Amino acid sequence: MQNNIRLKTDLSTDAGKSAIQRLIRFFISFLFLMGALSLILFIPVALTGCSEKTKADEMIADSRFQLNTLITINLYDFDDASALSDAFSEISRLESILSRKASGSDLDKLAENAGSDYIQVSEDTARLFAVANEYSRLSDGLFDVTIGPLVSLWDIGDGKGRVPSADELSAAMALINYEDVITADDGRVMLARAGQKDPQPWHLSRSKKADIIGH
């Protein structure tokens, strides 16, 4: 049985129009980044299979559900199965610090302390936010990791969803500003304003994880 969610947003208000336009631009940038992720995942593994000796029976593979998706790793011209276990272990390690939903993760602590204090984060998280800031700067804010308060208004995670009001949209959009992600020289990070919950560098974090695992 398939549940279809159909939400209507009041486009007669400036807030409604602006929110929809912002989300459209956000998802376009997301699709672009996912395309880059596909290349990152494919190239390192494909290069290992460029040898003339590569045959179908020389491939080892494993699939596991991680990062809220099914991940399959194929290694060509390679027979050490421990490499697959090491790769999935690294994914688990990165997910524990970069997941928005994992209690105690860097992103969880950032959201809890938004507007009040800097958080000491891992080197991986610090580098992730540095890359995110660069994408935001280059796109003039079309890519923005602080979009969480706006996205969460639709509450589609449970399969039900809701239609936010114009006032809710306006309040959430006032919290979106990538420049509010402040980094200190010692590697600490802070979200400048209270209410900037659910930081969302997740599309970049998947690329980051793939990049680390591929190397």
Length of the chain: 215
Residue 12: its pLDDT value, please? 53
For residue 183, the 8-state DSSP code is E
Residue 177: its pLDDT value, please? 94
For the chain, list the domains and their CATH numbers. Answer: 14-214 (3.10.520.10)
CA distances from 56 to 41, 64, 74 (A): 19, 21, 11
| b/e burial code for range 96-110 (CB count within 10 A of at least 16 → b) | ebbbbeeeebbbbbb
Q: Angle at Cα 183 formed by Cα 181 and Cα 188, nearest 5°?
A: 115
Structural tokens at position 29: 């940038």
Give the 3-state secondary structure of 64-100: EEECCEEEEEEECCCCCCHHHHHHHHHHHHHHHHHCC
CA distances from 59 to 2, 49, 62, 162, 204 (A): 36, 9, 10, 46, 29
pLDDT tens by residue, the chain, 215 residues: 444 434 444 445 565 556 555 655 555 555 545 554 444 444 444 444 444 454 556 889 999 998 778 999 998 887 888 989 999 999 899 889 888 788 899 999 999 999 999 999 999 898 888 888 898 999 999 889 899 899 888 887 767 888 999 999 999 999 999 999 998 888 899 999 998 877 877 555 444 445 544 55
Helical ranges in the chain per DSSP H: 14-47, 82-98, 106-112, 123-138, 148-151, 166-173, 202-214
Residue 98: its pLDDT value, please? 85
**Which of 138, 137, 122 is CA-nearest to residue 181?**
137
Structural tokens at position 54: 């590569």
Nearest-angstrom CA–CA distance, 137 and 143: 8
